[in-house]
Amino acid sequence: NHYGYVPSLAPNLIGLIGFALLSIAQLALAVYYREWWFGCAMGLGTLLEFIGYLTRVLSYYDVYSYGYFICQITCLTLAPTFLMAGVYNMLGKLVIVHGLDLVSKLKPATYTYFFLAFDISCIALQGGGGGIASGAGENISMYNAGNNVMLVGIILQVVAMFIFMCLTVLVFYNANKMKKAGMYPTREDLAAEGLLDLHINPSAKPQRRYHPNVSPVLYGITYEKRWKPTVIAFAIAVLLIFTRCMYRVVELAQGWGGYLMETEPYFLVLDGLMILIALILISIYHP
């Protein structure tokens, strides 16, 4: 058969149920918070994961179905690209929260356009590669050609993620430097302006010398209890997705019949489990 093994029913069924629930959760959170771009990107990515695992479960009952095989490999290859489309949008918002010109010389929209171009390219290459492979039938060379196109798309995705991680670290590095320089309002400043509920000494005088480009309303978010856990959760989620993409690069580089492609436990852990944990974290710590 095309897998080189028979997909295990139990772990793939867990993935199917898990991603079904996460699809509903992401779409519900998008509607509740009216976070349309992030919500739709996450919802589509999670839905593709669900379809991928649905066809893997169906493959257990019909392991020789080429349609099921191509559907799962295309959906599961494309899904993280949509997930990252939502995450990329967060970088511009981090810049706005920490003050324009303080942590970045680029406008927030520039980040969105830059990574959107990367994402569209990744989706086009990975989807195109899946299309070539789906029409290959028993033609191994044509399947490998589609496989290679998908590989280029995933390598481009890895590059985009690496740039994103570097820029995000730079934003937080600059924010920490600006905070030490007194460019941000303190808790006492925000409490004095009625933006933060604190029990402070009435005689304590707020500094009120923070940078004019910093919005005290927006920066007040960083003093919320959920701020640090959310940032940490997203950092872990991005690293998990990055790990999955690196696994896929090696897997597709080995080509048709490669060791990783024909050894299911690697896929279940380094692909499925990585994405499942990442989505659970993003759902619990919704931005």
Q: What is the pLDDT of residues 164-195, one digit of tens each?
A: 999 999 999 999 999 888 889 888 778 777 77
- Digit-coded pLDDT (tens) for 56-112: 999 999 999 989 998 998 899 899 999 999 999 899 999 999 988 889 988 888 988
CA distance linking residue 238 with residue 224, whole number of Å? 22
Confidence grade of residue 141 (pLDDT, cut at 50, 70, 90):
confident
Q: What is the pLDDT of residues 232-254, one digit of tens each?
A: 999 999 999 999 999 999 988 88
Considering the chain, what is the average pLDDT of its residues? Answer: 89
- The backbone region for 98, taken as left when phi is positive above 0, alpha when psi lies in -120 to 50, beta otherwise, is alpha
Which amino acid is it at 74? T
Domains of the chain with bracketed CATH:
9-181+222-285 (1.20.1070), 185-218 (no CATH)
Q: Residue 205 has what pLDDT?
A: 57
> 204-210 contacts: CB < 8 A, separation 24 or more?
207/182, 209/182, 210/182, 210/183, 210/184, 210/185
Annotate 179-192 with b (16+ C-beta within 10 A) or e (fewer): beeebbbbebbbbb
**DSSP 8-state code for residue 223:** G
Provide the pLDDT for residue 19: 97
Cα-to-chain-centroid distance, residue 163: 14
Cα 27 to Cα 1: distance, rounded to the nearest angstrom: 36
> pTM for the whole thing?
0.89
pLDDT confidence tier of residue 126, bands split at 50, 70 and 90: confident
pLDDT tens figures, 4-36: 999 999 999 999 999 999 999 999 999 999 988
